[in-house]
Structure 1
Amino acid sequence: MTDQHEQGGAEESFISHLVELRDRLVKAAYGLLAACAVLMVWPGPSAIYDFLAQPMLASLPAGSKMIATGVIAPFLVPMKVTLLIAFMLALPWILYQAWAFIAPGLYAHEKRLVAPLVISSSLLFLAGVAFCYFLVFGRVFKFINEFAPASINVAPDIENYLDFIMSMCLAFGVTFEVPVVVVVLVRMGLVSVEKLKAIRPYVIVGAFVIAAIVTPPDIVSQFSLALPMWLLYELGLLIAPLFVRVTQAPDAAEQ
């Protein structure tokens, strides 16, 4: 009888967790839809795409524009961009729902561990995207278009342009997570700060290798990604020891 009671309680607990997960997913979806609806009204998909296209348009000859080769591309591409921006705007709300779902099952010291990581990783990703758009795109497109022969009329396709900027923004957003990776490795005890300092030369070389792979083949773009990666790595080395002390369990801190 006791075993059946315990089994029934476990099933009820599992179902309640599924219901809670569903509710959190629905609330996250509502937040995304609300952000998308606001962007549809103001400034609108066309204005959003024009904003993202500005770095490319600024590097083209006067009077030049991008082209759409697909039949529904003039409608579909701005809608994709709007959905992407809506997701970025709704990201804090989505992460809050994820945090609200897992927080009840965490100890106090674990909550001190998760919350800063979630917030800092979100901010670093957005910082990487902003860095790419405001500081890198202009230099990259200017470099590329300067190599175009005079016999070529540079008119990029909007779908190819969207794919390019999304891949670049994703690359910069992910690489800006270097401090979070360093902190997690140290906090989980997989590697020590001293070891990470010892492999610093290899990290610097690796940063330039990654930059050479994910950016166009010009020195400016590669340095624009490699140098921030190195500096963010150094930032992670500074923050990791402090983070470990703050998020230790009470019994571990007393030892």
Structure 2
Amino acid sequence: MFKEKIDIQRLPQHVSVIMDGNGRWAKQKGLLRAFGHEEGTKAVRDVVEGCAELGVKFLTLYAFSTENWNRPKREVDTLMRLLVNSLKKEIKTLTENNIKLNAIGNIDSLPKKAQKELKEVIDKTAGNERMVLTLALSYGSREELIHVVKDLCEKVKNEELSLDAIDESIINQHLYTQNLPDVDLLIRTSGEQRISNFLLWQIAYAELYFTNILWPDFRRENLYEAIYNYQTRERRFGKTSEQIS
């Protein structure tokens, strides 16, 4: 059991997950892709509760990318329906576990019903302090960075900000994730080993963990294994091993 091996004093502060493999899971079982997405909600609940129990402070889930809008309309409609239904169902779990919900991305592009449910849950959990759960919805990191560049250019143009003042701190303040720390551990399921336009700035020094497990089969024991693996690594941030030790 990996949970017993985890050093609670060295937990990653911010864990992010690319939840991949719902469609392949369904296909392997001869089911429609929609069933894979529905089954994936069980993995979400298990991982959220697992992170909260351990003491992880920030968890960000890649729920829907800007590129996902290009999928068949029926699948997109299913994903949006699941989002609305899940938000309704999970508010009790979030409240009981003292978890605050947050969202990043182009939220205005979501269906009005999804926006409404999302806002209600965010408002109702605003005072929770145990963990911040962030859903990346209609999110793309390149789009986010374009937004930052335009915002900074406008401020320099209007003399609200000097060019010389722009540094990492200023850029962080203009990201969708301005209230979140950098990612420590990025997990991707399903065997794919790419970032897929997710938090490109924020994962600059993150540890990457790839697993062949398809997302609907991912459970908290798999989460514990990923965190234990993270703790076996030496994070140098550009320094040498001797400097770290």
> Same fold, TM exceeding 0.5?
no
TM-score, scaled relative to structure 1? 0.24
Could you say which structure has the greater relative contact order, defined with CA pairs below 8 angstroms and 6 or more residues apart? 2
Q: Name the TM-score, length of structure 2 as normaliser.
A: 0.24
Q: Point out the structure with max Rg over C-alpha.
A: 1
